[in-house]
Amino acid sequence: MFPLDQWYVAGFSWELKDRPVARTLLNRNVVMFRTGEGVAAALEDRCCHKSLPLSCGTVERRGVRCGYHGLLFAPDGACLEVPGQERIPTKAKVKSYVLSEKDSILWIWMPREEGGQPTHEAPDYWVHRDPRYTFKGDVFHYDAPYQLIHDNLLDLSHLGYVHLKTIGGNAAVHMNAELKVEASGDQVRVLRYMPESAPPPTYLDAWPFKGKIDRWQEVEFNVSHLNIWTGGADAGTEDMRDPQRGGFHMRGFHAITPETDTTAHYMWTMASNSHPERPDVSGVVFDQTALTFEEDKVVIEAQYRNILRHPGAPQVDIHVDVGPNRARRVIERLARA
């Protein structure tokens, strides 16, 4: 069960080029495309004639054309043309989804009832349009349920064990970091601060720190995505609780969209600022972030395989599980609604 009547991330703007994009979202087969007129659209990935996936077809100026018999469908799912006949059957229509394109993110409304319309605007993500930051992103596929990925992102204590070569650092410092968990409505925030800690490799590659740093990790969980703000400043130079603090910043957008009950899409971007002495580090930050997420993927998929090998085996909670457990309660409450 997934929370419905929600915006979920279906992909990124740069994915819509000259061909349809097929993606299964919350057990629903969807095809996305951008018409020659620039309209981004999402339809059920099934032609209403002989059920060929529309993703096997082609994109044209007015819509997507089926690759079997050439029926042309508009962004709202209406059939515009049936080659070889003038009359278009009244039932020639494909289910459409509301797609909102904002800040290079494609948001899809997943209604509780067929035909349900959005009750609020798609989320805003100001980081992608802030001139202080440069960002890049990618899409990963996980053979694991999406909530295991939530658990991982809401518990950054694992960095010292899993990501030693990039954003990790001293494992003892991570496990003993000052931790605060806040919950409000459907949102959970996990705040972690590590003053006077050694900067990890990625930070050193991106910023000319003078020695030890004051390091922060702020995770904001929303039902469809997480915003994670991490970074560091030379020890004693910035207030880690000041929203306008300086130093090196990594702002991650993490959209965890279920594919099926047991698989998920991980659609992410990483934005970072740059120091005048190192004006172009976005490539380094992106490459090392991608490596980090690949390491997480190995761990989470192995974790899920072992869960399947030991069905019903109990798990013991420790102090770092407060944030993930609160997020799971939000998902459970919304899914039951």
- Burial, 29: exposed, middle or buried (Cβ in 10 Å; 0-12, 13-18, 19+)? middle
- Are 151 and 300 within one domain? yes
- Are 97 and 160 within one domain? no
Give me the pLDDT at residue 173, please.
58
- Residue type (1 letter), 76: D
Give me the pLDDT at residue 90, please.
95
Does 73 score more than 70 pLDDT? yes
- Residue type (1 letter), 153: L
Does 165 score more than 70 pLDDT? no
- Are 190 and 291 within one domain? yes
Does 1 score more than 90 pLDDT? no
The answer to whether residues 189 and 219 touch, using CB atoms and an 8 Å cutoff, is yes
User: Lowest-confidence range among 91-100, 197-206, 265-274?
Assistant: 197-206
Label residues 138-169 b or e (16+ Cβ within 10 Å = b): eeeebebbbbbbbbbbbbbbbbbebbeebbbb
Mean pLDDT, all residues of the chain: 93
- Are 286 and 147 within one domain? yes
- Residue type (1 letter), 239: D
- The answer to whether residue 121 sits within a structural domain is no
Over range 189-196, report the average pLDDT: 93
- The answer to whether residue 257 sits within a structural domain is yes
- The answer to whether residue 317 sits within a structural domain is yes
Q: Of 110, 141, 166, which residue constitutes the final position of a domain?
A: 110
- The answer to whether residue 135 sits within a structural domain is yes
Q: How confident is the model at residue 156 (pLDDT cuts 50, 70, 90)?
A: confident
> What is the percent of the chain with per-residue pLDDT over 90, rounded to a whole number?
83
Give me the pLDDT at residue 164, please.
66
- The answer to whether residue 124 sits within a structural domain is no
Question: Of 53, 26, 1, 9, nearest to 43 (Cα)?
Answer: 53
- The answer to whether residue 28 sits within a structural domain is yes
Q: Of 58, 76, 110, which residue constitutes the final position of a domain?
A: 110
Give me the pLDDT at residue 169, please.
60
- Are 103 and 141 within one domain? no
**Residue 64 belongs to what H/E stretch?**
strand 64-65
- Are 144 and 58 within one domain? no
The answer to whether residues 156 and 181 touch, using CB atoms and an 8 Å cutoff, is no
Q: Of 110, 142, 173, which residue constitutes the final position of a domain?
A: 110
Q: How confident is the model at residue 175 (pLDDT cuts 50, 70, 90)?
A: low
- Are 99 and 182 within one domain? no
Give me the pLDDT at residue 170, please.
60
- Are 104 and 149 within one domain? no
- The answer to whether residue 115 sits within a structural domain is no
Please give the Cα distance from 301 to 152 (Å, whole number): 12
Q: Could you tell me whether strands 99-102 and 96-97 are parallel, antiparallel, or unpaired per DSSP bridges?
A: unpaired
Please give the Cα distance from 80 to 206 (Å, whole number): 52
Give me the pLDDT at residue 63, please.
97
Over range 33-48, report the average pLDDT: 96
| Total domains, the chain | 2
CATH number for the domain that contains residue 245: 3.90.380.10
Range of the structural domain that residue 184 is part of:
130-336
CATH number for the domain that contains residue 92: 2.102.10.10
- Are 237 and 331 within one domain? yes
Question: Of 122, 108, 119, nearest to 11 (Cα)?
Answer: 108
Classified as helix, coil or strand, 271 is strand
- The answer to whether residue 197 sits within a structural domain is yes
Over range 10-26, report the average pLDDT: 97
User: Lowest-confidence range among 33-37, 97-101, 124-128, 317-321?
Assistant: 317-321
Does 166 score more than 80 pLDDT? no
The string of DSSP letters for 178-213 reads: EEEEEEETTEEEEEEEEEEEPPPHHHHHHS---S-E
- Are 169 and 227 within one domain? yes
Q: Could you tell me whether strands 134-142 and 264-272 are parallel, antiparallel, or unpaired per DSSP bridges?
A: antiparallel
Does 201 score more than 60 pLDDT? yes
- Are 100 and 197 within one domain? no
Does 172 score more than 60 pLDDT? no
- Are 147 and 220 within one domain? yes
